[in-house]
Every structure is written in structure tokens, then in C-alpha cells.
Structure 1
Amino acid sequence: MALRETTQTAESDLFRQELVNLINLRHPLVQLAQKIDWDSCDQRFGGLYKAGIGRPGHPIRLMVGLQLLKHTSNLSDEEVVAVWVENPYWQHFCGEQYFRHDFPIDPSLMTGFRKRIGESGCEFILGLTVQAGLATRAVAKTSLAVVNVDTTVQDKAVAFLTDARLLHKARMALVRQAKKLGIKLRQSYERVGLASFVRSQRYAHARQINRAKAQNRKLRTYLGRVIRDIERKTQSDDTRTERLDKLLEIAKRIHSQPRKRSEGDPPKLYSVHAPEVECIAKGKIHKQYEFGVKVGIVSTSKESFVVGAKSLPGNPYDGHTLQACIEQAQRVSGIQPKEAYTDRGYRGHGCDSSTLKVWIAGAKRGVTAAIQRKLKRRNAVEPVIGHLKSDGRLARNFLKGIEGDAMNALLCGAGHNLRKILRKLRLLCAQLGITLRQFLNNTIACSTRLMPQAV
């Protein structure tokens, strides 16, 4: 798949106005487009396309720009493409020369581009936003050496998890796949299975636990019968596919896993379509458990600029994740952090003290006045996480698989950085307008005083 040529041409169209003649060139998004190194994107991602195979690919600046706009504005793939058609500033940001009235791409190509670039490509995009922050002075180069580190949970797009829902959805997924493959089941249990699931939820809501457990046993029985029926009818033919084998494995684990996991048991499954989901205990009254993956956030201590967002599958101990988060921050920013400020959950981190000085909240020995101020500043990473979840897409991840968790976290960090840069440019533009207005007023006043009075 070769890349399409850029739409920028030296010759002007007689019947169309260029975007630069229609928009305000002092707009923050126009200024930001000039600060991003788009040529490096072509060099980094251009090798992922090959000429002579398939349909020509869309320009890399367009694809990268859509990803950045999506996470800056907290939109879905479909929404960002729809808004792009209506917004001339977004089209200029993505490299268009003239205003377009058609969709630039099919929204499904956003997923294909993310799969093509992978986690390393998303790290590169996060690094682009850091370089743009340095170019716009939204973050200082010296600030990249002092960082705050904390972990949070990136929730997955799954429904509230109960045993009855898991058993019901596993049976539904198997029946749906069997219909696609033309496997005629003895009984699908669609009607009685749905009735048992509804009764189970109602009994549980009414605190009639014994009746709810009886319905759960029925759901487990229905799932076991469907599993055995599919295995019998696909044992001697070639209708078994990789998708069916994966669903059967997931359904067997859900059918056999106990309600409470004990030591030595395999990891419990909490979702059919997202088996990588983990149950992470928070210990908070309003939200005791969260279902997703742990993410390590690294932000600068002064400007709260995100320089690292590391997905951490397996729910590891916070202290054991510090080294990986710092290494990612170094790859993204190109600068080795010298000081890291963490909470008490990072005790026993085991990082090399010769290259990185780790200060844990509550430390007393060797703490100077400057270190004490930075320790208090460590709490600034908490509102950063809040903005990543409320203004970004970290609160609910819709991307698939473990790699989707990693890419979503990195792109959320890139969107957070762009929001900070745009705010900085917006304030500078407002200050410049006030200064220019004051200059014009002073000039008019001076010229009025020097003007000779009319007789």
C-alpha cells in the first residue's frame, strides 16, 4: 500500500479560496500546526506502507492529525470524522489546502492506522506533543528532569460484572458463532436463558440470594450443554475455526471458575469480549473495585505536562512499575528524569539511585526546603489523572486487547498535552490583542494631542 500524494499544490484554484484566506491565522490551532514536526511523522510511519500493493493510503499528516484531534476533544472515531468536515481549522491542521465537503476517510480506518503504528507509534505521537510544548514554551526543558509519578486504573468498556451476566453472555456468544458457521444446535436456550438471567437479577436486587443462586445454577447448566453440544458436532469436521476455539476456551473458563478465586487458581475472567480485564481493588468507599488495567502516569512537576503513560497489565505492585515508567518517559521526552516524586505506594521500588533520585511522600531525612516544596507539588499529578479521565478518554477505554489499553493511555496523554498547549496559545493571543489595542489607543491619543487645533 503506497501513500497518496499530499493535496498541497503551488498552483491556486481559480474557483476556490485557500483555507489560509478563510481562517484566522492567529487561531491557536493554526499556530499549533506550525509547531508540530509533520516531516518526522512521514519519516517514522512512511516505512509502514509499501508501493504496488493495495489501494494507496491516506496522507500520514491527516491520519496523525485525526488521532490528535480525537483525543484532544474527547470524541469517537465517527464523531471526529464528522466534525472534521464542518471545521476549517481542523482541516488546515490536518494539512488540507482547500475546504473539503466530503469525509476524509472512513471512520474504520482510524482503527487500522492505530494497529499499523502500534504502541511504539503512539509513544512517538506523545513525543511529538512534548516537542510542540517545548516549541511553544508550554513546558520548559529543565522541567522534564523533575517528574511526578502515580498510578490509576483505566476502565474498560464492560458492563457491570456479575456471574449471571458472564454465564448468559458466554452462552449468547457461542450460539451466535455457531449460527455463523452453520452448526445446528440441539437447543440454543435463548428464551429460557434470558428468562433465568432476568429472574437472577431481580432476585439479587430483592436480596433473595438463594433464589438468585438457583437461577445462576440454571445458567451454568445451559452454558455447559451448549459447550458440549458444539464440541460433539465439530469434533469430526472442519467447521472449527480459531474464533470458535477461542470462544470455547473462554466459555469453559467461565463455566468452571469459582465465585471467589483462591490461591493457585488461574486468573478469573470478567468479560467475554475483553478477557484481559482485571479486577483492581481501590479501597475507596464510593468505588471499591475497578475493572480495567493499571496505568502509570508520569508528569512534569512544574507544568503537569504528561511525558509518560504506561499500561501495566497484571496489576503489579506500584513500586515495581517505577523503572518501566521512567524509561518510557525518557524515550518520549529524550531527557533522563533526575528526580521522581511518588506516594507511599512506591516504597521498595529498587531503582538505581545513581541515575534517579526517588522522593517518597512523608520522607524526613535529607529533605531541604526546595525538596519539601516539590513533595507538596507531588499532589499535582492527581488532577492530571482527573483531567485525563474527565476531559480525555482514560475513564472508559473502547480499544481492543492489551495493545489497545497501551495505545489509548498514550494517546490520552497526547490529548492532555495538546489541551495545555492550546490554552497557552489562546492566552498569548489574548494578551497580544490587549497589547495591540493599548498601543493603537496610545498612538491615536498622541496623534490627537499633536494635531493642530482647527480655527
Structure 2
Amino acid sequence: MEKNITFPTDRKLCFKALKLLVKKARAYKLRLRQTYTRKALYAFVWSGRYSHARQTKRANRELRKLKTYLGRVIRDVERQITGNELEENFTELLTLAKKVHTQKRKDNHKVYSLHEPHTECICKGKAHKKYEFGCKVSIVMTEKEGVVLEARALHGNPYDGHTLEEAIKQAEKTSHQEIERILIDKGYKGHTVEGKEVFISGQKRLTKHFKKVLKRRQAIEPHIGHMKSDGKLKRNFLRKEIGDQLNAFLVGIGHNLRLLRRFLYKPPPKKV
């Protein structure tokens, strides 16, 4: 589930961090030696232009300038608030700005958004869209009807197999029924579920009956597609981690209501 953020690049994050620091410093009447807002804007624009023209050395030169300006503003603000009552007000923003200023390409736990700092990079492994910036969502559905029993956001980018046991427990708690058979894809290998029939996609040495049963695993894909197109699973507009949890929960409720409406709908009689 993607967050409502722009695609993160170093130049965007550095420029945004500098603007936010200058804006907050002005709000608290701090007199900075130099704001670098105009110089930073010039470097930001030309870095994008050089990147578009594939002039990497020139683009990196402008990015280094942008980082230099950000570092100067960070140090200037720190000098003025150290040992001051304003220190507490700037702590969160300064921490994010420092992380944006120092983070490298292969670092872990990077900042991808300043207004949604908990956003994670999820590798999808698909040719058309390699990465997604948001959080994972765990969904448990019934085998035939496609009714959602459990839908919740997972933070920290956990391995799928480690989340299955908790998801099944929550689904059983919601439905007040014991789940006997579980159909999952290959991403859940290494799960810790015991005492239940678990079938993984591509599993060999199955009878014809269970091969037919396992084909029902793919039935969840169109349901997820409807949750993205008809619901709000494609992009989450709610703030912070609690917004992720609420959005995932409400998407599941909305999907169940659409299924119920379709079940109760009676088409009008055809005119002869």
C-alpha cells in the first residue's frame, strides 16, 4: 500500500529539508547568517535538468552544492538553539534533516519523506514497477466467497512467512471459526503455522484434488485488484502509522460491503 508521497530523490529531500528548516527558523525569529533558499532552488532545478540530459557529473556537482547549503543551515540553527528552550521544538526536524543530509545510496532505514518519515521501500520485483514506497498489508480471505477476514498494515517491512501465524490468529478471532486449510504463495515459505493444512503455490506431489484446491490461491488477486481500484488500497491518504492501520481496516470493510451489495442485488426483470 503506497503512501501519498512524491517519488523520493536526494535533491528533492535536501531541498525540502532546507526549506522547512528556514521556514521554522523564521517562525521562531532566528536570524540565520544566510538562508540559501535562492541558491538551493538554482542547484535543485539544474540538478534535475542535468539528470534529464544524462550529464551525471554536472548533476552530482549541483547535488553536492545542495547538500552543502543544507549542512550550513543545519549547523547555523544548532548553534542558535543549543542550551535554549527552542531546542525541543527543533529536535524532530533537525534529526530528519541530518539523516537526509548524511544518508547514502545503500544505507538501511532511509528517510523517503519528511512528512511521512516511517515510509518504507518495498521491493516488488516487477518489471513495470520495481519499488513501492509505503508499507505491506496482510489480507486473509475465505477460499470461495472472497470475504475479507483480516486486513492490517505491517510496518518494518517484515518477511511474509513471519506474519502468517499472527494473521491467521486474528482471522480466527474475527470470524469465530477455526481455519483448517490455508492457501498461500511462495513468499510465505518458512512460516511457523502448525496444526493446519498449509498449501504453497508450486508445491509438488499433490493429488488431483489438492492441485485443484491450490488453484483457488490465485482467486485472491482479482479481489486485491478491486480493493485497489474500487477501494483505497492503491494509495493511502491518511497520515502516520495509525493512518495505515485505519486505511487497511476500512478497505477490508468496504470490500465486504461491496460483496454483500452484489449478493443482495436483484436485477430488474427483462422486458419482452
Using the size of structure 2 for normalisation, the TM-score is: 0.94
For residue 272 of structure 1, the aligned residue among 114, 118, 134 is 114
User: What are the within-5 Å matches in structure 2 for residues 205-224 of structure 1?
Assistant: 205-224=52-71
For residue 405 of structure 1, the aligned residue among 244, 247, 268 is 244
Kept after mapping to 2: 8 A contact 1:339/1:357 = yes
Question: Which deviates more from structure 2 when the two are superposed, residues 182-191 or residues 204-213?
Answer: 182-191
**One-letter amino acid matched to 1:357:** E
1:258 aligns with 2:93: no
- Secondary structure at the aligned position of 2:135 is classed as strand
For residue 315 of structure 1, the aligned residue among 143, 147, 157 is 157
Residue 181 (structure 1) shift: 2.1
Residue 268 (structure 1) shift: 1.2
For 1:301 and 1:333, the matched residues in 2 are separated by 14
Kept after mapping to 2: 8 A contact 1:156/1:292 = yes
- Secondary structure at the aligned position of 1:351 is classed as coil
User: What are the within-5 Å matches in structure 2 for residues 278-427 of structure 1?
Assistant: 278-352=120-194, 354=195, 356-365=196-205, 367-426=206-265
Residue 182 (structure 1) shift: 2.3
Match in the other structure for 1:42: none
**What is the identity percentage for the equivalent residue pairs of Structure 1 and Structure 2?**
49
Question: Which deviates more from structure 2 when the two are superposed, residues 175-184 or residues 189-198?
Answer: 175-184
Kept after mapping to 2: 8 A contact 1:227/1:251 = yes
For 1:334 and 1:184, the matched residues in 2 are separated by 62
User: What are the within-5 Å matches in structure 2 for residues 67-106 of structure 1?
Assistant: none
**One-letter amino acid matched to 2:269:** I
**One-letter amino acid matched to 2:203:** A
Residue 206 (structure 1) shift: 0.7
Residue 314 (structure 1) shift: 1.5
Residue 364 (structure 1) shift: 2.7
1:233 aligns with 2:233: no
Residue 373 (structure 1) shift: 2.1
Unaligned runs of 5+ in 1: 1-153, 439-455
For 2:192 and 2:149, the matched residues in 1 are separated by 21
Question: Which deviates more from structure 2 when the two are superposed, residues 406-415 or residues 174-183?
Answer: 174-183
For residue 93 of structure 2, the aligned residue among 247, 252, 266 is 247
The higher-RCO structure (CA 8 Å, 6+ apart) is 1
- Secondary structure at the aligned position of 1:329 is classed as helix
**One-letter amino acid matched to 2:129:** K
Equivalent pairs counted in the alignment come to: 272
Q: Cα RMSD between the aligned structures? A: 1.8
Cα displacement string for residues 310-343 of structure 1 (whole angstroms, at most 9, x for unaligned residues): 2111112111111121122123222222111011
For 2:61 and 2:143, the matched residues in 1 are separated by 55
Unaligned runs of 5+ in 2: none
User: What are the within-5 Å matches in structure 2 for residues 190-205 of structure 1?
Assistant: 190-205=37-52
Match in the other structure for 1:434: 269
For 1:208 and 1:249, the matched residues in 2 are separated by 32
